[in-house]
Amino acid sequence: MRESPARAEPHDATAWLPLPDFAALPPLDRLLIPDPEVEHAAPRDTPVGVPSPARAEPHDATAWLPLPELEELPSVDALLEPDPTVEPSVPREVPVGVPSPARAEPHDATTWLPLPELDPVPVGDGNGGGPPTRWHRRTRRFHIPYRALLTLTAVAGTCAAIYLGVTVLLDKGADVTIRVDGQRISTETKVAKVADVLEDEGVQLGEYDRTVPDPSTPIENKLSVKVLRSFAVPVAFDGTPTTIQTTYREAGQGFIDDAAEQLSPGGRIGFLDPPNRITDSTPVVVNTFKSGVLLVDGQTIEYDSPAHTVREMLADNGITPGAGDVTRPPGLDDVLMPMNSDGSRVVIALIRVQNETIEVVEPYTLPDEFQPDANMDVTAPYRFVAGKGGTQLVTYVLTNENGVVTGQARVAWAPIDVAVANVTYYGTKYNERWDKIAQCETGNDKDGLPYGPMGNWDHTGSGNRGPNTYQGGTGIWSGNWDAYRNEIIAEGQWGVAEAWPKDANQATKWQQIIVAERIKDDHGWGAWGCGKTLGYAKEDGKRIV
């Protein structure tokens, strides 16, 4: 309960109210109509420490204020014009010991004084007081008869009615303020909706412009309408750059609604990472919502995300793939599709990939080698030198997918016991006459230009096989090549059959010389026309024609 504003503080006999000098107080009629030339009276000085005559003694419930008899009180007119012959009334007697009805209980800051009812309070004549006083008569005395008062009242009512009627006739409607394009338009209108007042004021709205409140809002007095113009915003929609129109500067649902209407009517789109502010220079990324199933860490997650790639979808669901993790069937950086090509729902598995390194000691061998021996005759059987196996320390990286080893790769190895390769040596020491024969037989090309001092050992002859086909550097007839090749393979001292080509021009120089030596042994140097030309055929006497 709050304190009563009509209550004084607890009794203090030494406290004085600021009382004016009674002799300087003006008459009551002058207070009702004060004289502007009369100065206000100043309060008189009060001695310090002397009890205030306006203060009651400490609370005494039996003490009565000097109350006059109500029936003896003068009228308001008599108070305004007191009769000097009338004696003031004396206080009525009150019984001793009976509490005064004008006294409150001991001081209580929360207690309110009893307030009188307003109805019985006397009302003045409407002119600021009672009947005119003598002072009024001395200055300006007038009296309004009852009939004149009624007439004045009727006239005043008529004037008020006329004023109200004129006001209604002159009223143009509700006051509306329009803010548009940096301007403020104030108008009065009787139209029904915001759209109507905009049309009346010549304010045109673009396709994507917006008003606050909505154009369909009913008009009311003191309504303020704001016209927001749309602006172009660069947008990356599902990875494709484009542009939309909007009135929103904040990255909220309003912007999304504009983007959806222009980019994907009827679809659902959203921000993957909302910007702090929408501008006409910074691209905004929005994507279509895609839903599907994500299998990760033994859980099945239903996702619904405005992501463009699988990696973005994982991030949107609070999942961070490890450095080696993969997703299947689409990869981490593949585009996230709304559904599979066959219309089925997309199911993506995140595979946790971990690599483990192990070291293993393993035996090993070296590949066989085929090496030339310049001190060994070309016709001598191949010489085989056996090697040996060894051991090595091999490092493997095991690939573990969701706890299952799915592969391994050898990444390093180091010999412990060094292996030695098997080596087959073939001779390269030959009779230099074969270079002379080759130079004579195949030294020039079809245009007569020399191949070189040692002939053309890749010479293909007149064609592939046939009775008149002479191939290789020495021009060996294909029939002889077949016969002697098979003979050499059968002997098994010059390598396996696969090492001997079917055509001489595909064999090595050393293989061609081995066959040529066998032809020479059987038929002499005269088997070659150049053998005769060079004079070699005369030496062996086998074939000189």
In a domain, 101, yes or no: no
CB 464 within 8 A of CB 502: no
Residues 135, 33: Cα–Cα separation, whole Å? 10
Picking from 365, 392, 425, the residue at the C-terminal end of a domain is: 425
Q: Which residue has the higher pLDDT, 424 or 468?
A: 424
Share of the chain above pLDDT 90, in %: 60
Instruction: Sheet containing 284-288: give its strands across.
Output: 240-246, 231-237, 284-288, 269-271
- pLDDT at position 115 over 60: no
**Per-residue pLDDT tens for 53-71?**
555 556 565 655 566 666 6
**Domain-located, residue 193:** yes
Name the residue with higher pLDDT: 63 or 82. Answer: 82
Residue 327 pLDDT class (50, 70, 90 cuts): very high
8 A C-beta contact, residue 304 and residue 338? no
Report if residue 69 sits inside a domain: no
Q: Are residues 465 and 435 in the same domain?
A: yes
CATH classification at residue 415: 2.20.230.10
- Same domain? 444 vs 528: yes
Helix 478-491, helix 509-523: angle, nearest 10:
100
Q: What is the pLDDT of residue 460?
A: 82
C-alpha distances in Å from residue 128, one per residue of 30, 31, 32, 150: 11, 10, 6, 19
Give me the mean pLDDT over the 323-351 stretch. 95
Q: Does residue 530 fall inside a structural domain?
A: yes
Residue 220 sits in a domain whose CATH number is: 3.10.20
Query: So what's the pLDDT on residue 54?
Result: 55
Question: Residue 98's pLDDT is what?
Answer: 55
Residue 37 has pLDDT above 70, yes or no: no
Q: Which residue has the higher pLDDT, 142 or 363?
A: 363
pLDDT value at position 163? 57
Could you tell me if residue 60 is inside a domain? no
Q: How confident is the model at residue 489 (pLDDT cuts 50, 70, 90)?
A: very high
Whether the link from the prior residue into 213 is cis, omega within 30° of 0, is: yes
Q: Give the relative orientation of helices 509-523 and 433-442 as an angle to the nearest 10 degrees.
A: 100
- What is residue 424's predicted lDDT score, i.e. its pLDDT? 97
CA distances for 238 relative to 73, 249, 272, 340, angstroms: 97, 21, 11, 17
Name the nearest CA neighbour of 530 among 461, 441, 433: 441
Residues 184 and 154 in one domain: no
CATH of the domain at 507: 1.10.530.10
Same domain for 490 and 473? yes
Q: What is the average per-residue pLDDT within 253-280?
A: 94
The residue behind tokens 């002939």 is 455
> Using 50, 70 and 90 to split pLDDT, how confident is the model at 166?
very low
Whether 463 and 398 share a structural domain = no
**Are the CB atoms for 430 and 377 separated by under 8 Å?**
yes
Count of Cβ atoms closer than 10 Å to residue 488 Cβ: 18
Q: Tokens for 299? A: 């859980």
**Helix ranges (DSSP H) in 399-527:** 433-442, 478-491, 509-523
Residue 123: partners with Cβ closer than 8 Å, 6 or more residues away: none
Co-location of 276 and 322 in the same domain: no
Check whether residue 443 and residue 410 sit in a common domain: no
**506 and 536 both lie in a single domain:** yes
DSSP string over 359-399: EEEEEE-PPPEEEEEEEEETTSPPEEE--B-EEEEEEEEEE
Q: Which of 112-126, 211-225, 405-419, 442-456 has the lowest mean pLDDT?
A: 112-126
Least confidently predicted of 140-154, 316-330, 410-424, 455-469: 140-154
pLDDT of residue 448: 60
pTM of the model: 0.47
- In tens, the pLDDT along 193-206 reads 999 999 999 999 99
Compute, in degrees rounded to 10, the torsion defined by CA atoms 501, 506, 508, 509: 130
**Where a domain ends, among 202, 228, 254?**
228
Kindly give, in sequence order, each residue whose CB lies less than 8 Å from that of residue 475, ignoring residues fewer than 6 positions away: 441, 442, 459, 461, 528
DSSP character string of 406-419: EEEEEEEEEEEE--
The answer to whether residue 46 scores a pLDDT higher than 70 is no
Report, as an integer, the average pLDDT of 206-211.
95
Q: How many CB atoms lie within 10 A of CB 181?
A: 8
What average pLDDT score do residues 76-86 get? 64
pLDDT bin (cut points 50, 70, 90) of residue 135 is very low
Of the pLDDT bands very low, low, confident and very high (cuts 50, 70, 90), residue 41 is low
Whether residue 534 sits in one domain with residue 450: yes
Task: State whether 442 and 535 are in the same domain.
Answer: yes
Q: Check residue 59 and give its pLDDT.
A: 58
Render pLDDT for 237-266 as a digit per residue (tens, 0 to 9): 999 999 999 999 999 999 999 999 999 988
pLDDT at 486: 96
Residue 349 falls inside a structural domain: no
| Pair 503, 462: CB distance under 8 Å | no
Q: State whether 178 and 249 are in the same domain.
A: no
Residue 29's pLDDT band (boundaries 50, 70, 90)?
Answer: low
Average pLDDT over residues 432-453: 79
How confident is residue 133, by pLDDT bands cut at 50, 70 and 90? Answer: very low
Max CA distance (Å), the chain:
198
457 plus 528 within the same structural domain = yes
pLDDT at 93 over 90: no
pLDDT at residue number 184 = 96
Answer yes or no: is 275 within a domain.
Answer: yes
Domain carrying residue 478: 430-540
User: Poorest-confidence range of 39-43, 262-266, 301-305, 469-473?
Assistant: 39-43
Per residue in 356-387, pLDDT (tens digit) is: 999 999 999 999 999 999 999 999 999 999 99
- Helix (H) / strand (E) element for 285: namely strand 284-288
Quote the number of domains for the chain. 7
Q: Which amino acid is at 82?
A: P
Residue 528 lies in a domain: yes
Q: What distance in Å separates the CA atoms of residue 236 and residue 106, rounded to the nearest whole number?
A: 82
